[in-house]
Amino acid sequence: MAVLDILTLPDERLRRVAEPVTIFDEALRAFIADLEETRRSGPAAVGIAATQVDVLKRIVIVDVSGRKNTPNHGYLVLINPEIVHWEGYETAREGCLSVPDYTGNVIRATRIRLTANDPWGRPLELEMEGYEARAVQHEMDHLDGTLFVDRVVSRRTDLFRRKVYQKGGQPKGG
């Protein structure tokens, strides 16, 4: 196994869209082992995406099992993940291995249902919520070249958007 170099902003390679994985072989699983070793080697990251190590494949790893009182599915390798349903939204602070020395508030869905493949190509269907759902959304963004800094909101903006989402239109008086 090896610890891979992590791309950091403003590296344009972080902005590329990753390709679906079509071959589920030993080379893929060896890369996943390297990706996980890379995640564990740095600051306490709960996830990592292949894009962050300059591999343009739709692969993310998430593991929030180390956080207290947090519903989770343990160590998760999600290949070709697709969110098929989401609901709710909440704001929380995020940082990123690819954006050192910066954190910001980001709105994410609170519950998601997703499909993916495991490292052997078998289909997965998962439902998750809260912190784990946030981590998966953060990592999946990387696969489309999006970073959390593209989604940062101020708390004032957040308050405005909440009203818009809840009412389905502009906030009204009275």
Partner 1 sequence: MADWHMLTLVGADRPGIVAGVTQAIFAAGGSLGEASMIRLGGNFTIMLMAAVEGGEARLRDALAPVAADMDLRLHIDPVAGGLHQHLIPNVQVRVTGADRAGIVAEITGALAGVGFNILELDSDVAGDPRRPVYLMHIQGYSDQPIEALEAAVAPIRASGIAVDIAPVETLIG
Binding site for partner 1 (CB under 8 A): 43-48, 62, 67, 92-97, 101-103, 131, 134-135, 138-139, 148, 155-156
User: Would you call 139 a catalytic residue per the annotation?
Assistant: yes
Instruction: Kindly state the DSSP code that residue 110 receives in the 8-state scheme.
Output: S
What's the closest the beta carbon of residue 64 comes to partner 1, in angstroms?
8
What's the closest the beta carbon of residue 173 comes to partner 1, in angstroms?
11
Q: Closest Cα to residue 46, out of 142, 152, 138, 145? A: 138
Letter string b/e over residues 115-141, b meaning 16 or more CB atoms within 10 A of that residue's CB: ebbebeeeebebebbbbbbbbbbbbbb
Give backbone dihedrals phi and psi of 138, rounded to 5 degrees, phi first. -60, -45
Q: Which is nearer to partner 1, 67 or 113 (CB)?
A: 67
Is the C-alpha dihedral spanning 43, 103, 141, 6 positive or negative? negative
Q: Which is nearer to partner 1, 57 or 134 (CB)?
A: 134
Q: Which is nearer to partner 1, 31 or 148 (CB)?
A: 148
What's the closest the beta carbon of residue 169 comes to partner 1, in angstroms?
20
Catalytic residue positions, numbered: 139
